[in-house]
Amino acid sequence: MTSGHDDVAYQGEPGAYSEAAALRFRPGAAARPCPTFEEVFQTVAEGRATYGVLPVENSVGGSVHRNYDLLLEHNLPIVAEVELRVVHCLLAVPGTTLPDVRRIYSHPQALAQCDRFLRSLEGVEVVATYDTAGSAKLLRDQRLHDAAAIASERAGAVFGLSVLRSGIEDFAGNITRFIVVARTDTTPPEATDKTTLVFAVKSVPGALFTALSVFADRGIDLTKLESRPLRGRPWEYLFYVDLTIGADDSRLADAMAALPASTTSVRRLGSYPSARASALAAETG
């Protein structure tokens, strides 16, 4: 990723993993914390930030469904993605020891990613909160000596907490994938190698198979298929797909032209450089 001075909005408090992703995308940028994912979208849509960084998937905890829904509600194209290795720490007010801990606070995704560690503790209540770094802030603000938070090491430093345990996630390959949204897409088509689409299929037998065959027949690989309920139409679904193809590849236009035969709606949410391509460009550039 290139450096710059654009504002980048993210959900959470300073020290959140989303802040780290924002600064990986734009080192040196002004990172703007927002209380909710919706506020991140609104901040970008209203021009109060140039970009918004949002988690969409974790390699252990799965998809962040709310952000898939918000992508459809807002007309902000995806312009990049970021992958971040997540290392969870158990944080506490200085002087607190592990036997003192009776409650552990964190975001539901972080709790799910540390399930094995949490199950090893006895007599400890697990409390879900809105944010990992926000949980660290809660400990600091309320001076809770009988509680701990699961968050990043940086969150501990930001809020003056001690690290009781580090690397408590269940799997070492704990990676969160973030997307970057903007009001306008200025990425040259030839610099993109990934595309995200969303479509709804017709209510006929084999419609999803036919839609997916559009990509297979053209040699387009799918790296993600996510279904979400189609609001107002019970038991009907939208399908989000990530494709390993850029905007300048003629197969993409050809596939989108063929999709209406088996779908009721198709929308391209963005073509952008993949995290892997961006990392390679940074290494060689």
Task: Find out whether 157 and 177 touch, Cβ atoms under 8 Å.
Answer: no
Is there a contact between 91 and 62 (Cβ–Cβ < 8 Å)?
A: no
Parallel, antiparallel, or unpaired for β 89-92 and 162-166? antiparallel
Quick check: is 283 in a domain? Answer: no
> pTM for this one?
0.90
Based on the fold, state whether residues 79 and 129 are members of the same structural domain. Answer: no
Are residues 157 and 181 both part of a single domain?
no
Number of domains forming the structure of the chain: 3
For residue range 191-232, list pLDDT tens digits in order: 999 999 999 999 899 999 999 999 999 999 999 999 999 988
Active-site annotation holds for 178: yes
Same domain, 247 and 138: no
> Do 136 and 102 sit in the same domain of this protein?
yes
What is the spatial distance between Cα 54 and Cα 164, in angstroms, rounded to a whole number?
28
**Does 285 map to a domain?**
no
Q: Is 200 left (phi over 0), alpha (psi -120 to 50) or beta?
A: beta
**At 39, which CATH number?**
3.40.190.10
Which of these three, 165, 197, 215, is where a domain ends?
A: 165
pLDDT-derived band at 5 (thresholds 50, 70, 90) equals low
- Please report which confidence band the pLDDT of residue 2 belongs to, taking 50, 70 and 90 as the band edges: very low
What average pLDDT does range 63-69 have in this prediction?
A: 94
- 236 or 247, higher pLDDT: 247
* Cα 233 to Cα 46: distance, rounded to the nearest angstrom: 30
User: What SS3 state is found at 118?
Assistant: helix
pLDDT band at 284 (very low <50, low <70, confident <90, very high): low
| pLDDT number for residue 132 | 95
The rounded distance, in Å, linking the Cα atoms of 207 and 285 is 44
Instruction: Write out the residue range of the structural domain in which residue 81 sits.
Output: 7-86+174-185
* Residue 145 domain-assigned (yes or no): yes
Structure tokens that stand for 258 in this block = 């063929």
Above 50 in pLDDT, residue 4?
no
pLDDT of residue 263 exceeding 60, the answer is yes
Sign for the pseudo-dihedral over CA of 92, 97, 98, 101: negative
In a shared domain, residues 152 and 179: no
The answer to whether residues 181 and 197 belong to one domain is no
Identify the pLDDT of residue 235. Answer: 87
Instruction: Identify whether residues 194 and 273 lie together within a single domain.
Output: yes
What integer pLDDT is reported at residue 282 of this predicted model? 60
Chain segment 73-127, per-residue pLDDT in tens: 999 999 999 999 999 999 999 999 999 999 999 999 999 999 999 999 999 999 9
pLDDT surpassing 50 at residue 1 = no
Last residue of a domain, one of 165, 199, 226: 165
Q: Are residues 74 and 99 in the same domain?
A: no
Residues 68, 122 within the same domain: no
3-state helix, strand, coil in the chain (%, to 5): 35, 30, 35
The answer to whether 181 touches 42, Cβ cutoff 8 Å, is no
Q: Among the options 43, 129, 132, 176, which is catalytic?
A: 176
Q: What are phi and psi of 138, to 5 degrees?
A: -60, -45
Question: What is the number of alpha carbons within 13 Å of residue 226 lying toward its C-beta?
Answer: 21
249: domain CATH number is 3.30.70.260
Chain-centre distance for alpha carbon 282: 21
- Could you tell me what percent of the chain has a pLDDT over 90? 89
Does a structural domain hold residue 76? yes
Q: Which of 178, 199, 215, 239 is catalytic?
A: 178
CA angle 224, 67, 82 (to 5 degrees): 65
Q: Which helix (H) or strand (E) holds 231?
A: none
- Per the domain annotation, does 2 fall within a domain? no
235 and 247 in one domain?
yes
How many angstroms separate the CA atoms of 158 and 73, rounded?
A: 34
Q: Are 238 and 45 in contact (CB under 8 A)?
A: no
Q: Tell me the pLDDT of the chain averaged across its residues.
A: 94
Residues 117 and 240 both lie in one domain:
no
24 and 104 inside one domain = no
Residue 196 inside a domain? The answer is yes
Task: From 165, 200, 230, give the residue that closes a domain.
Answer: 165
Residue carrying structure tokens 């924002």: 22
Residue 62 lies in a domain: yes
Q: What is the pLDDT of residue 231?
A: 86
Instruction: Specify if 274 maps to a domain.
Output: yes
